[in-house]
A and B are shown apart, each in its own frame.
Chain A
Amino acid sequence: MSRPYDLAELQRLDDECRAAAAGLGLDVPEVVFHLAPAERIYDIAARGLPGRYPHWRFGQDYERMKLDHDHGRSRIYELVLNTKPYQAYLLEGNSWVAQLLVMAHVYGHCWFFENNGHFAGVDRRFLPRVRAGADRIEAYCRRHGRAEVEDFVDAVQAVALHAPLRLVTARRSAPPPAPEPGRYDDLFPDETAAAHRAHEAEVAAWRDRVPREPDPDLLGFLLRHAPRLDDWERDVIAIIREEATYFAPQRRTKIANEGFACWIHSQIINGLQLETAEFMEYNRLNAEVTQPHPLSVNPYNLGLALWQEVERIHDRPTPEEAERFPVAGDPALSGRDRVLELAATVDDAALVASYLTPGVCDRCHLFAWERQSSTRLRCTATEADEVRDALVAQLRHMEVPTLEVVDADAFRTGGLWLAHRQEGVGLDPLFAANTLPLVARLWGRRVYVETVAHRPEGLRPVWYRCGPGDRQADTLTIAPAS
């Protein structure tokens, strides 16, 4: 039987969790919990932040999540916003134990947000900006037609993940260095003069080139340089880019953050006196949350295992580990301190790279797979080293291919040339052919993407080309000449 609760009871739970977290040596920031109905929670979950601009896609996600919820298929247990003060949502109708679990978990997240360096640049007063952006987009909808604005937002969302980690991304570019004056230059006046002329030509080309260095900030580049955008369109790009930048550190630290929150909540709850039945329910919920998924990594499950491994290695290192991790076993630092220390600095890739040991790999039953056909996967490795490499590679790019703007005046006709640079794997042809028209819509002229494709004879270069207004991009197997 579940314990009934009211706001006062939740307040008491909150105070207890907070005291317990402080007892664990955490300096816990201020958190506001909202007890909210499902509609509200799924709305925020669908749009990522409350009050974000109106768009049909959020409605689609909202309806899907709400239907799942209404039919008991899924439940979001936690929703926390990285703002000052931190705001977290509790789903009305959840059991007493579930609310307690969420609160304890949220304190873990908030500590992580507060202390992890990857969140240092995040604007914690972002919500008013989000609302202001939404109001402006709403105004554009009224002025320019809802369908038109929504289509434009669609196009921007298609490349929203190609946003930088920081809003200000000054990329330094120096002119090509002048040839070193040699001791015997005056013996070869013609050669020296030719070298200087060549250098001057290089400098002139460098000066004319836009961008001077390949630019991975596709949205930022479009915002600054797309020749045919209206002011409102640039504003929409800026709003979406800012939001993408806000989300970027959360995407980078999913495993570390969830794992840390699980690590904290289990300690907080183990410190509280729960009745047996409640403890059983807690264990059931915990098992539900850390349920492994066969095809991807459950960040709760793996994250918790990784942080536990960090703690264990520090407290009880094997001789081999003592050699590998110099601070391991240092009596001045407890295992838990070591976790806090690391949690303040790592992202997923770093955490996995250092601590995915054979022990973790076994305990989480990790395996690397590759796709054989659309319905079949083949397991390629279960060894920790290979699994770790595969996972780190995946976490580095976070499922987003790296695209760089190489030339904004391709063929001297104002085309935008993008290069996809990734070792060994190309872009998906179907997705590339359908996404490129959206980029062409933003750029307003032809757009090219240079990538590779898998052919029976091996990896071959391939190009996609698309003009504004084309429905699908052309696929070219020889370099485009215009």
Chain B
Amino acid sequence: MTVLKDPGVFHDDGERDRRRNHDRVRQQIAERLRDQVGDEELITAGPEHTIRVPVTGQRDWRFVFDRQRQQGVGQSDGVGEGDVIDLGGPNGEGQPGGEGAGEGGGGGEVTYEVELDMDEVEQHLFEQLGLPRLAPRGLQQERTEHIFFDDRARKGPLLDKKATIRANLKRNAQAGKAGIGDFERDDLRYLTFREQLRPASQAVVFLVMDVSGSMGQFERRIARLFFWWATRFLRHRYTTTEVVFIAHHSEAIECDEHQFFSIVDAGGTRCSSAYALLLEVQRKRYPVADWNIFVAHCSDGDNWDDDNGQLIELLTETAEVANLVGYCQIERSTRYHWSGEHLLGILTRADIPNVVCHSVGADTEVWAALRAIFSPDDAEVLT
């Protein structure tokens, strides 16, 4: 009689309930995700990337007949009376009675997969991190505490019509057409809300990396993972976050992101140079009164012995202006021998306030380092 095009996209009950279900298995999802933090593919794949994690959900309890005495009728060619059919594994796929996941093996649980996009992955992960040791900073401590419909995302509970139209206009303009029309899925923007304590101000994060010859492929990969997640996390928490890249060997330079990860220098290592530059940049561009300052430093732990004294001095000075300094030492068990003492030991002994140190020896330990540095335990947990 009539064929209509369903406006489909304006009904997102399925999406809403999917999120509800994720809420129920939040704990499990977060646990599974922690292992994935060390997965480089996750950070290179872009925002459209999705990952799947297995979770265990509760059974659909209801009254059923004794499953040990179950009888039924099936269809199969060549089965004769008295034949025994093996269903394979204990959770064999073809469970009779076929009501889906309700049936299954012997336990009280069913396993299924959930799919998450990067927004959701970050949301799940960053819930477990906090911003510790935030010293009060005048005006910057003004915080807002309420539910905001503040974020625009490609999916969410509430369609943002204005933003959707704007996105559509933009896309049409890019295609050389003026005007609104031909809405596509890409155009849709949603408001997502969260209940949050939010620093109402801006943050700058200094990424400091040792680029001397002793930093090999492995060290650089870990550093990259660590920096990526640390920056993502701070971006997630602050309205504006600026990033300053400082690469150092025996001297330090400020550079852009591309250079930062590609410079290789054969020289030795003098960490104090990085902090001297950092302080200079900070004084010039990021006054303490206006900025929350974070420092993330990755190194393999080598430093010239005669530099350690100056390093401690500069680091102490940095720690006074910064909200938090995270030092992440990347050490592989099979690394070559270094005669001097590692920075980790020296810094731990110095015990400077606002400086947190952690070591990472494998991909899977990146999360532990992030968690140690952005520890929610002794901080106000912003959730």
Contact = CB atoms under 8 A, between A and B. Distances in A.
Interface in A367-401: 367-383, 387, 390-391, 393-394, 399-401
Interface stretch (A41-49, A172-180, A206-214, A276-284): A41-49
B63 A7 contact: no
A228 interface: no
A380 B62 CA distance: 27
A37 B90 contact: no
B17 A56 contact: yes
B69 interface: yes
B6 A429 contact: no
Contact of A378 (B20, B62, B82): B82
A46 B100 CA distance: 12
Given A54-B20, A59-B19, A374-B105, A39 B73 contact: no
A70 B19 CA distance: 18
Interface string B84-102: 1111111010111111110
Contact of B6 (A36, A47, A438): A36
A294 B100 contact: no
Interface string A13-57: 010001000000000001111111101101100110011101111
Given A54-B13, A59-B16, A427-B66, A32 B24 contact: no
A89 B115 CA distance: 25
A369 B66 contact: no
A399 B1 contact: no
A435 B62 contact: yes
B339 interface: no
Given A375-B92, A394-B71, A399 B83 contact: no
B61 A158 contact: yes
Contacts of B2: 11, 14, 31-33
A60 B28 CA distance: 15
Given A56-B23, A425-B69, A35 B16 contact: no
Interface in A154-177: 157-159, 161-162
Interface in A423-462: 425-432, 434-435, 438, 453-454
Given A59-B20, A374-B106, A454-B68, A40 B6 contact: yes
A423 B13 CA distance: 42
A418 to B, nearest CB: 9
Contacts of A162: 63
A391 B6 contact: no
B63 A432 contact: yes
Q: B57, B85, B108, B114 — which one has the most chain A CB atoms within 10 A of its CB?
A: B85
Given A59-B21, A295-B72, A39 B4 contact: no
A55 B105 CA distance: 25
Contacts of A295: 72, 74, 85, 87, 94-96, 98
A382 B59 contact: no
B64 to A, nearest CB: 5
Contacts of A40: 6, 8-9, 11, 14
B67 A55 contact: no
A429 B86 CA distance: 24
Given A295-B96, A375-B88, A159 B65 contact: no
B6 A371 contact: no
A61 interface: yes
Contacts of B166: none
A454 B70 CA distance: 12
Q: A35, A368, A375, A380 — which one has the most chain B CB atoms within 10 A of its CB?
A: A375
A399 B85 contact: no
Contacts of A430: 67, 106, 108
Contacts of B69: 370-371, 425-426, 454
B3 A14 contact: yes
Contact of A365 (B18, B60, B79, B108): B79
B85 A376 contact: yes
Nearest to A51: B13
A312 to B, nearest CB: 20
Interface residues of A, number: 99
B5 A367 contact: no
A93 interface: no
A231 B40 CA distance: 54
B52 interface: yes
A54 B74 contact: no
Interface in B90-142: 90, 92, 94-101, 105-106, 108, 112-115
A382 B106 CA distance: 29
Interface string B19-61: 1111110000000000000000000000000001000010111
A379 B62 contact: no
Interface residues of B, number: 73
B3 A58 contact: no
Given A40-B11, A89-B6, A374-B90, A296 B97 contact: yes
Contact of B18 (A63, A379, A391): A63
Contact of B64 (A55, A371, A401): A401
Nearest to B14: A43
A50 B68 CA distance: 37
A68 to B, nearest CB: 10
A85 interface: yes
B21 A56 contact: yes
A292 B81 CA distance: 19
A380 B81 contact: yes
A364 interface: yes
A50 B84 CA distance: 42
Contacts of A429: 66
B59 A434 contact: yes
B12 interface: yes
Contacts of A37: 6, 8-9, 185
A412 interface: no
A10 B3 contact: yes
A64 interface: yes
A403 interface: yes
Q: B61, B86, B99 — which one has the most chain A CB atoms within 10 A of its CB?
A: B61
Interface stretch (A186-194, A297-305, A313-321, A330-338): A297-305
B217 interface: no
A399 B70 CA distance: 10
Contact of A64 (B15, B95, B101): B101
A229 to B, nearest CB: 20
A112 B60 CA distance: 31
16 contacts: A37-B185, A39-B8, A56-B20, A56-B21, A57-B21, A58-B14, A59-B20, A89-B6, A157-B62, A158-B60, A293-B94, A365-B78, A368-B73, A374-B90, A426-B69, A434-B59
Interface of B: 1-6, 8-9, 11-24, 52, 57, 59-90, 92, 94-101, 105-106, 108, 112-115, 185
Interface of A: 7, 10-11, 14, 18, 30-37, 39-40, 42-43, 46-47, 50-52, 54-64, 66-67, 70, 85, 89-90, 146, 150, 157-159, 161-162, 292-298, 301-302, 364-383, 387, 390-391, 393-394, 399-401, 403, 420, 422, 425-432, 434-435, 438, 453-454
| Closest A-B pairs by Cβ, 4 of them | A59-B17, A43-B14, A36-B6, A292-B75
Given A422-B65, A434-B61, 11 more contacts: A32-B1, A40-B14, A54-B16, A54-B17, A158-B62, A162-B63, A369-B71, A370-B70, A401-B65, A427-B65, A428-B66
